[in-house]
């Protein structure tokens, strides 16, 4: 391949930054001349953002004061553009260093922000509305009627010219590995950043829009989704045997250092059962040679889903196999070669660590993490003293790259690579993980490099490198470790896993667990109980640490199954280490008569918004909501709705790659039939009763849907309920004679078994999986002879050998729907939202029982109520207000998620909720749910964080004709609305602007992002389309009067498409500042 140290036509990227070409100045100016700012009054063209990404990057290459309102607002002249200059991108945790970096950038005439409006976000990640016109390039559309720009960008048609994205430089953007460091609440060793990879500004967002990147990186949006799998032929070509550094304990639990887990292992080769580094050294040549051989064997391996930039996900197998404690698998595909689910984390350091471990390095491996600078800390602990631009490279060395300055683990490092050859002329060959290309982010082999030239050309003049040598001392053997526990688990039930480790001549000092669903669910101890929240394949890891400081990481794949529920829950991928907030999709019918359509009430973590979905459901029958990792939507966790359509067919609606999709499925449910669904071990399956009273199933296998009759036993079409178990689904129905029947799979057959339980004519069912994984159903309307036929509330739970146990529940329920679920016990939650245990782990086990059971019902007096079992027995609690029906329940089994009961009331749909971590005993509060799909005007939200700015926000709402409820002073609401991209958020005043941009105050937020960080950036010009996920509008000006007028102008323009009468331009915006102002509520 081309020598990256020389002039390159197609610069690559690594660890989150682009490598600009050497002649970047002239190219950036030329590109900028071709792609100018959009003018809202100009001739517009909608271009697909994928093809326009190059133009966007060209725009952001040009240095300018991107927050100068003159550049962005109607009628303003563009200021003279300053010359392009290099500048320092210092990334550090300390505010004084951040201020130095800001001063340096200002000295060079560079600014923080751009307000380009473009986003190619996956609608599930960004949660954009799917409605409104979708226009191909060149076709006119009424932009005001479109709820969002979606996957398009606005540019001026007569000024557009194509730009080669590979030749378009980005000013002084550099490769960046993530910051992970020891999980302590202090500036992280080996990272240079406080509190994880987050920094203080949304740097990755800024890069995408041409913004300066002078401060620590924030959590990033994860939006680029494509499926990818390393071809078997390539894996075979890369085959090479590797030394084992740990034992293989079992068939379904694999040490990640095992050669059997590596793509370099020859097909059919058996993994070694026992090995130590010393043994590996004696059998495989020098340590450096082994490092080089293993690194080279990985060249070409990369991300799944495939990505070609760092604007979204970065899902790789190495972060999983080294058990990155902040890595998150949400949104990631599987790696078929290593047989693990990938993790989302910038991974150059994870890759280098994995290679060293594979080669036999065991010393102090807990010190090395996803921060490239952690290699420097490892070197210091080893007695080395890395010096900038000094030393003679040796095969096997790690090369760490820093911006100009001291070589210290307290500073942010840009990248770490591995030397695989030293050439006669003094140049080196390197293998670099997490490098981008036109095909994927992958492992790259770069040859004939002069390290200094390579550093300068890749990042900027002044970039330095430092060598870290692998250990020269004989390495102590890694401990033996294994993991045991179920290979199939059920969403919302408890799965218990056990780790066993031993160290000859020593002892075990800790076990640390990850489950791929955000670091807040990480655990300590030899025994852990975990609750999975989403169906699909999950790779769990346990890292066993010995008294010698050596570690073995063992992985185990768990197939997680789950049943449909009242809502489809989708964890966020906006923050790389967190699954917060969890969005809920509650599918409802909208309209009436012949105009009934499908809508989704969407909870963004703080508020509800109803969006029109695709599909036309029949007027009656339950709609099944189910989310799962969908390979048809690029491995995204996707909300699905299954229902009987108005034409009598079985139908499915889901949020696809380009918006809501509806399609017919094989099968014909009976009129009024309830629909239930499950994600099973073999994929999604939908169950219903057909017109002949027969239980039927429609399921998907290898992308094809088919239907079959399960039983000829005659049952009613409603009620129908389903509980998923590790052995498969169990269906509950009512026979024509009123007997409760159950059906579960036995091979290909589905025998229907009548029970002795008889129910009333209007009985209702709600099924769940108990905390210990058993199928269970709660029946409202069991006829009890002892109560002379009066209905009672009863739970039936499957026992051993097919027997069922019945428990009469406290509370007197009115005839009508009920809703049952498990919920996270408050006693299982420790610490604030986002809190997580510190690696390397301890021997102290966590909670054994994490879940309780709750049932919502209407009391005899028409008041909503719950009966719940918290492990101490059954209790009841009254909910506020009155209701006409129970319509559902949501209790996502993740810490700090609210318990929500959905009800119908005389005034419309509503929700009773406990809030964060409160038990079912309360306190409960009530809030209204949306009753109609939102218009664009409904999505405008004015946020005020300072008391003096509230009148300005209220005046803006009034002037634009908005409801007073569209003004909020809640940071939680404003954060969630900005994150989702479904709202048009205007930050009114300096306090609101600072809070959404920096969160210097450290206010609690729905994403559990660490203080001093946000994933957001702002737009300064007036818009009448949604700016997109993670973007908000800057409604702050220099005086209170100007702030009020600016807010009025922005809100009015959003709703009406023009400035208010007499206004020709917005008052000038002020820049955000790292100052804590206002209050969180």
Instruction: Report DSSP letters for 644-699, one per residue.
Output: EBTTSSEEEEEEETTEEEEEEES--BPTT---EEEEETTEEEEEEEBTTS-EEEEE
Question: Which of these three, 500, 527, 556, is where a domain ends?
Answer: 556
Q: Are 741 and 780 in contact (CB under 8 A)?
A: no
Burial of 531 by CB count in 10 Å (0-12 exposed, 13-18 middle, 19+ buried)? Answer: buried
pLDDT at 893: 87
707 phi and psi angles, rounded to 5 deg:
-125, 155
Find out whether 433 and 372 touch, Cβ atoms under 8 Å. Answer: no
Residues 631, 597, single domain; the answer is yes
- List C-alpha distances in Å: 180 to 197, 537, 701, 1034: 6, 25, 39, 32
Same-domain status, 183 and 286: no
pLDDT of res. 1069: 97
- Pair (279, 416) in one structural domain: yes
**Spatial separation of the C-alpha atoms in residues 1036 and 223, rounded to whole Å:** 29
Does residue 997 contact residue 1028 with C-beta atoms inside 8 Å?
no
The Cα–Cα gap between 1036 and 1023 comes to: 15
What is the CATH number for 526?
2.60.40.10
- Determine, yes or no, domain membership for 200: yes
Per residue, the 3-state secondary structure of 300-315, as one string, reads CCECCCCCCCCCCCCE
Q: Name the pTM for this structure.
A: 0.78
Q: Which of these three, 666, 701, 736, is where a domain ends? A: 701
Q: Name which of 1047, 1040, 1079 is nearest 1066 in CA terms.
A: 1047
Please indicate, yes or no, if residue 819 is contained in any of the structural domains: no
Strand ranges for 177-271 from DSSP E: 253-255
In terms of Cα–Cα distance, which of 1063, 1023, 1031 is closest to 1044? 1063
Element at 545 (helix H, strand E)? strand 536-546
Task: Determine the Cα–Cα distance for residues 164 and 414; give it in Å rounded to an integer.
Answer: 26
**Within a domain: 855:** no
Residue 780 lies in a domain: no
Asked if residues 657 and 671 have their Cβ atoms less than 8 Å apart, the reply is no
Listed as ranges, residues in the chain with pLDDT below 70 are 1-285, 593-594, 784-791, 801
**34 shares its domain with 141:** yes
Structure tokens, 372? 């490239």
Residue 919: inside a domain: no
Q: Is residue 169 in a domain?
A: yes
- Pick the last residue of a domain from 679, 701, 723: 701
- The rounded Cα 823 to chain-centroid distance in angstroms is 22
Same domain, 458 and 495: no
DSSP 119: -
Do residues 308 and 421 both lie within one domain?
yes
Give the model's pLDDT for residue 556. Answer: 97
Residue 671: CATH number of its domain: 2.120.10.70
The domain of 675 spans: 564-701
Distance CA(857)–CA(52), nearest Å, equals: 53
Our count of domains for the chain comes to 5
Residue at token pair 């994490």: 850
The DSSP 8-state label assigned to residue 630 in this structure reads E
Residue 460, phi-psi category: left (phi > 0), alpha (psi -120 to 50), beta (remainder): beta
Tokens of 159: 């000024």
- Pair type for strands 874-878 and 864-869: antiparallel
Instruction: Please classify residue 23 by burial: count the beta carbons closer than 10 Å to its beta carbon, then call 0-12 exposed, 13-18 middle and 19+ buried.
Output: exposed
Do 237 and 146 belong to one domain? no
Same domain, 540 and 445: no
In a domain, 162, yes or no: yes
Same domain, 241 and 142: no
- The 8-class DSSP code of residue 317 comes to H
Q: Does any domain span residue 770? A: no
Q: Which residues pair with 480 in a beta bridge?
A: 502
d(CA 495, CA 539): 14
Q: Are residues 445 and 389 in the same domain?
A: yes
State whether 97 and 128 are in the same domain. yes
**500 and 520 housed in the same domain:** yes
Cβ neighbours of 1005 (radius 10 Å): 29
Place of tokens 């210092």: 90
């Amino acid at each position: 391949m081309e020598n990256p140290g020389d002039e390159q036509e197609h610069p690559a990227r690594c660890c989150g930054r682009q490598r600009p070409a050497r002649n970047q100045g002239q190219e950036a100016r030329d590109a900028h001349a071709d792609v100018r700012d959009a003018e809202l009054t100009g001739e517009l063209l909608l271009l697909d953002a994928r093809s326009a990404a190059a133009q966007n990057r060209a725009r952001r290459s040009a240095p300018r004061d991107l927050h100068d309102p003159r550049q962005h607002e109607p009628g303003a002249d563009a200021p003279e553009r300053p010359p392009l200059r290099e500048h320092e991108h210092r990334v550090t945790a300390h505010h004084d260093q951040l201020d130095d970096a800001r001063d340096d950038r200002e000295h060079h005439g560079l600014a923080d922000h751009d307000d380009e409006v473009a986003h190619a976000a996956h609608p599930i990640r960004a949660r954009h509305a799917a409605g409104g016109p979708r226009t191909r390039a060149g076709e006119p559309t009424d932009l005001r009627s479109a709820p969002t720009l979606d996957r398009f960008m606005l540019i001026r048609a007569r000024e557009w010219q194509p730009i080669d994205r590979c030749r378009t430089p980005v000013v002084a953007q550099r490769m960046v590995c993530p910051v992970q460091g020891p999980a302590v609440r202090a500036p992280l060793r080996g990272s240079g950043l406080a509190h994880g990879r987050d920094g203080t500004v949304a740097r990755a967002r800024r890069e995408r829009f041409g913004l300066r990147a002078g401060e620590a990186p924030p959590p990033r949006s994860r939006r680029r989704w494509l499926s990818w799998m390393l071809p078997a032929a390539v894996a075979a070509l890369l085959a090479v045997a590797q030394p084992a550094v740990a034992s293989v304990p079992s068939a379904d639990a694999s040490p990640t250092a095992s050669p059997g887990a590596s793509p370099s292992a020859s097909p059919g080769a058996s993994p070694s059962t026992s090995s130590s580094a010393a043994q590996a050294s004696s059998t495989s040549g020098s340590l450096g040679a082994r490092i080089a051989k293993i690194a080279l064997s990985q060249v070409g391996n990369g991300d799944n889903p495939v990505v070609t930039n760092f604007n979204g996900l970065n899902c790789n197998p190495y972060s999983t196999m080294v058990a990155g404690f902040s890595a998150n698998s949400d949104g990631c595909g599987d790696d078929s070669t290593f047989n693990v689910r990938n993790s989302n984390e910038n991974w150059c350091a994870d890759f280098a660590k994995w290679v060293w471990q594979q080669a036999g390095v065991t010393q102090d491996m807990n010190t090395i993490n996803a921060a490239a600078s952690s290699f420097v800390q490892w070197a210091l602990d080893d007695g080395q003293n890395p010096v900038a631009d000094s030393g003679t490279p040796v095969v096997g060395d790690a090369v760490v790259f820093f911006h100009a300055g001291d070589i210290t683990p307290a500073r942010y490092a840009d990248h770490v690579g591995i030397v695989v050859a030293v050439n006669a002329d003094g140049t080196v060959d390197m293998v670099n993980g997490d490098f981008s290309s036109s095909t994927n982010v992958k492992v790259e082999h770069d040859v004939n490099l002069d390290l200094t030239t390579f550093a300068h050309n890749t990042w900027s003049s002044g970039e330095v490198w430092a060598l870290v040598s692998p250990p020269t001392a004989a390495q102590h053997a890694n401990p033996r470790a294994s993991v045991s526990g179920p290979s199939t688990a059920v969403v919302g039930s408890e799965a218990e896993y056990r780790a066993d480790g031993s160290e000859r001549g020593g002892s075990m000092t800790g076990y640390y667990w990850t489950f791929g669903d955000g670091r807040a669910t990480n655990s300590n101890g030899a025994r852990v109980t975990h609750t999975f929240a989403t169906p699909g394949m999950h790779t769990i890891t346990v890292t066993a640490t010995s008294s010698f400081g050596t570690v073995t990481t063992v992985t185990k794949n768990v197939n997680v199954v789950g049943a449909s529920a009242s809502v489809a829950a989708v964890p966020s991928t906006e923050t790389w280490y967190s699954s917060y907030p969890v969005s809920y999709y509650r599918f409802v019918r909208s309209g009436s008569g012949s105009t009934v359509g499908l809508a989704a009430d969407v909870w963004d973590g703080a508020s509800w918004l109803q969006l029109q979905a695709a599909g036309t459901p029949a007027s009656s029958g339950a709609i099944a909501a189910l989310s799962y990792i969908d390979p048809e939507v690029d491995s995204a966790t996707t909300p699905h709705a299954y229902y009987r359509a108005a034409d009598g067919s079985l139908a499915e609606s889901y949020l696809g790659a380009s918006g809501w999709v509806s399609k017919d499925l094989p099968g014909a449910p009976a009129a009024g039939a309830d629909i239930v669904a499950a994600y099973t071990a073999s994929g999604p399956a939908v169950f219903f009763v057909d017109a002949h009273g027969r239980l039927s199933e429609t399921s998907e296998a290898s992308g094809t849907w088919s239907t079959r009759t399960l039983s000829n036993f005659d049952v009613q079409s409603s009620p129908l309920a389903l509980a998923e178990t590790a052995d498969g689904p169990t269906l509950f129905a009512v026979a024509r004679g009123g007997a409760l029947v159950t059906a579960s799979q036995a091979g290909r057959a589905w025998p229907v078994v009548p029970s002795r339980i008889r129910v009333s004519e209007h009985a209702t069912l709600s099924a769940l999986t108990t905390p210990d994984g058993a199928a269970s159903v709660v029946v409202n309307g069991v006829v009890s002879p002892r109560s002379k036929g009066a209905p009672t509330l009863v739970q039936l739970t499957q026992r051993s050998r097919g027997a069922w146990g019945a428990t009469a529940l406290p509370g007197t329920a009115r005839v009508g729907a009920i809703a049952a679920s498990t919920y996270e016990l408050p006693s299982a939650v420790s610490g604030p939202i986002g809190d997580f245990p510190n690696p390397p782990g301890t021997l102290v086990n966590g909670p054994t029982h994490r879940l309780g059971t709750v049932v919502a019902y209407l009391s005899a007096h028409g008041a909503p109520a719950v009966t719940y079992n918290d492990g101490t027995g059954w209790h009841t609690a009254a909910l506020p207000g009155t209701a006409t029906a129970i319509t559902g329940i949501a209790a996502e089994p993740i810490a700090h998620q609210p318990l929500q009961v959905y009800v119908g009331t005389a005034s419309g749909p509503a929700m009773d909720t406990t809030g964060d971590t409160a038990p079912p005993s309360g306190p409960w509060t009530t809030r209204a749910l949306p009753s109609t799909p939102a218009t664009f005007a409904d999505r405008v939200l004015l946020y005020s964080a300072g008391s003096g700015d509230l009148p300005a926000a209220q005046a803006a709402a009034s002037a634009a004709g908005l409801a007073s409820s569209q003004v909020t002073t809640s940071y939680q609401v404003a954060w969630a609305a900005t994150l989702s991209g479904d709202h048009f958020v205007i930050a009114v005043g300096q306090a609101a602007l600072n809070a959404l941009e920096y969160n210097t105050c450290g206010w609690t937020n729905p994403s559990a992002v660490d203080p001093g960080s946000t994933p957001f950036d702002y737009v300064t010009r007036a818009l009448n389309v949604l700016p997109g996920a993670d973007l908000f509008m800057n409604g702050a000006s220099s005086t209170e009067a100007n702030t009020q007028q600016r807010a009025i102008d922005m809100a009015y323009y959003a709703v009406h498409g023009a400035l208010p009468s007499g206004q020709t331009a917005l008052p000038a915006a002020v820049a955000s500042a790292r100052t804590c102002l206002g209050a969180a509520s």
